């Protein structure tokens, strides 16, 4: 057979094959293929993912729910500083006369009221002081009567002016001596009646005992502190602001600060004064601020990280722990209210039915939906969050425990996590 005849036969075969293909193919499949919509992945969107936790998992994870907070994260001045007490709320207790410690009635950390007995000091000098006071008191009573009598006689020209002047001088000298002794006894808290060799040491302010520098039998020396007392009710914060930000800070501005190693609990305050001199050689100025919501246990000297609000621009923010990063994106988790089980939605998968039967024995189930977001400025444990997917206005957002939910999603990706 010639080659030309072979080519003709092959051509005829190809034409017949094409005709048979179009004649025999299913037209329904063609239509279905044409009508099939593009998937979300084709458009570059992430599929909606759900995580399901049983009651035991939810409780063990320590999940905390909440909503957005409005925070000023951009119009702020960053500052560091310490909690501080004004000098009028601190006291060192010392003595004005030397003695020996006879008793101690307090211990470190104890709260004391103003005027409460802290200790007693013993010295013979105390008894001598009381004796001098009582003697002066008696002399003054006599000289008062004699002065009045001599004044009357002088007014009537019965005696000489010289006798009257001498009596008046003796009276005024004794009166001054008596007043001096009286003030000394009051200053030393020594009784003016009777004779005693002990002197009480009392608290000058209400507060907590921070130091006890003596023990029984110790020699209490003049000018050396025996006790230290502080009153933390007037605690404030001293923040160091550098020269470049100084013009932005003014009294009356709100501050927010967190304490190191205190679980990032935010405490609020208000600036009440700005120093007019640099602190040492740091080129920073001290900004003093009152504490508004002092519900925490604060003591002087705690290190703080603070923000001073110098503007009013507020944005939606969440704790930084509420945002998880996965697959190159950022997400939060939202609790789904009234979620129905997969079986009730008509899923006919055997695995879903088996899972539903297991859930009936696990108690209440919690369903969380992963929502994509975009983050912005981060300050004091909060981050600006912009939603990229719509959620309900009253949606319960996972503020704490988001990473646990994300790890659970990763583990169950093959069968436990649902995708819509």
End of a domain among 263, 292, 309? 309
Distances (CA, A) of 297 to 84, 293, 302: 14, 11, 11
Whether residue 225 sits in one domain with residue 97: yes
Whether 190 and 287 share a structural domain:
no
The pLDDT of residue 343: 36
Q: What percent of the chain has pLDDT over 70?
A: 78
Say what the pLDDT of residue 270 is: 92
Supply the mean pLDDT for the chain. Answer: 80
Integer Cα distance of 71 and 276 in angstroms: 30
- Higher-confidence residue: 157 or 121? 121
Q: For the chain, how many structural domains are there in total?
A: 4
Kindly report the CATH number assigned to the domain that includes residue 127.
2.40.50.100
Q: What is the pLDDT of residues 328-343, one digit of tens each?
A: 889 999 998 754 443 3
pLDDT in tens, 194-216: 667 888 999 999 999 999 999 99
Q: Residue 346: pLDDT above 60?
A: no
Instruction: List phi, psi (to 5°) of 352.
Output: -65, -40
Residue 288 has pLDDT above 90, yes or no: yes
258: domain range? Answer: 76-85+235-309
Residue 247 banded pLDDT, cuts 50, 70, 90:
confident
Of 230, 262, 286, which one is at a domain's C-terminal end? 230
Q: Do 101 and 222 reside in the same domain of the chain?
A: yes
CATH number of the structural domain spanning residue 399: 2.40.420.20
* pLDDT at residue 161 in the model: 79
Please tell me the predicted confidence (pLDDT) of residue 381.
83
Give burial (CB, 10 Å; 0-12/13-18/19+) of 401. Answer: buried
- Higher per-residue confidence, 171 vs 342: 171
Q: pTM of whole model > 0.75? A: no
Last residue of a domain, one of 292, 309, 326: 309
- Residue 91 pLDDT > 90: yes
Q: Is residue 226 located within the same domain as residue 140?
A: yes
Contact 257, 269 (CB under 8 A): yes
Same-domain status, 94 and 225: yes
Spatial neighbors of 25 by CB under 8 A, at least 6 apart, are none
For residue 7, what pLDDT is reported? 62
- Which residues have a Cβ under 8 Å from the Cβ of 204 and sit 6 or more positions away? 91, 93, 114, 229
pLDDT at 6: 66
Is residue 109 domain-shared with residue 225, that is, in the same domain? yes
Residue ranges of alpha helices (H) inside 206-305 are: none
Most trustworthy range by pLDDT among 272-276, 351-355, 416-420: 272-276
Say yes or no: 251 and 358 in one domain. Answer: no
201 shares its domain with 221: yes
pLDDT-based confidence at residue 418 (cuts at 50, 70, 90)? very low
For every residue of 287-307, DSSP letters joined together read EEEEES---S---TT-EEEEE
Residues 109 and 202 in one domain: yes
pLDDT band at 298 (very low <50, low <70, confident <90, very high): confident
């Amino acid at each position: 057979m010639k080659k030309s005849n072979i080519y003709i036969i092959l051509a005829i075969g190809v034409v017949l094959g094409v005709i048979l293909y179009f004649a025999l193919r299913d037209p329904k499949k063609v239509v279905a293929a044409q009508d099939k919509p593009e998937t979300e992945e084709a458009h570059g969107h992430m599929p909606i993912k759900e995580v399901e936790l049983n009651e035991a998992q939810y409780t063990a994870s320590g999940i905390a729910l909440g909503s957005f907070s409005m925070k000023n994260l951009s119009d702020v001045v960053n500052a560091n500083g310490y909690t501080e007490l004004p000098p009028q709320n601190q006291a060192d207790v010392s003595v004005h006369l030397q003695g020996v410690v006879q008793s101690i009635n307090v211990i470190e950390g104890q709260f004391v009221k103003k005027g409460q007995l802290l200790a007693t000091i013993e010295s013979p000098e105390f008894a001598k002081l009381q004796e001098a006071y009582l003697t002066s008191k008696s002399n003054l009573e006599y000289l008062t009567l004699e002065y009045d009598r001599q004044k009357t006689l002088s007014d009537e020209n019965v005696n000489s002016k010289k006798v009257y002047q001498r009596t008046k001088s003796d009276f005024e000298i004794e009166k001054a001596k008596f007043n001096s002794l009286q003030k000394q006894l009051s200053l030393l808290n020594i009784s003016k009646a009777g004779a005693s060799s002990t002197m009480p040491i009392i608290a000058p302010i209400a507060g907590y005992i921070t130091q006890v520098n003596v023990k029984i039998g110790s020699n209490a020396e003049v000018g050396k502190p025996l006790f230290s007392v502080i009153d933390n009710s007037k605690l404030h914060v001293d923040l160091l602001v550098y020269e470049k930000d100084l013009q932005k800070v003014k009294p009356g501005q709100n501050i927010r600060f967190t304490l190191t190693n205190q679980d990032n609990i935010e405490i609020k305050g208000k600036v009440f004064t700005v120093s007019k001199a640099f602190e040492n050689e740091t080129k920073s100025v001290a900004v003093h601020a009152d504490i508004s919501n002092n519900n925490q246990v604060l003591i002087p000297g705690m290190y703080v990280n603070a923000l001073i609000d110098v503007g009013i621009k507020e944005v939606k923010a969440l704790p930084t722990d509420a945002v998880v990063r996965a697959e190159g994106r950022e997400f939060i988790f939202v609790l789904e209210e009234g979620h129905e089980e997969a079986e009730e939605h008509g899923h006919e998968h055997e695995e879903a039915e088996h899972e539903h039967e297991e859930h009936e024995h696990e108690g209440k189930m919690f369903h969380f939906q992963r929502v994509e977001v975009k983050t912005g400025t981060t300050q004091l444990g909060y981050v600006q969050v912009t939603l990229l997917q719509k959620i309900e206005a009253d949606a319960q957002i996972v503020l704490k425990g988001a990473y646990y939910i994300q790890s659970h999603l990763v583990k169950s990706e093959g069968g436990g996590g649902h995708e819509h």
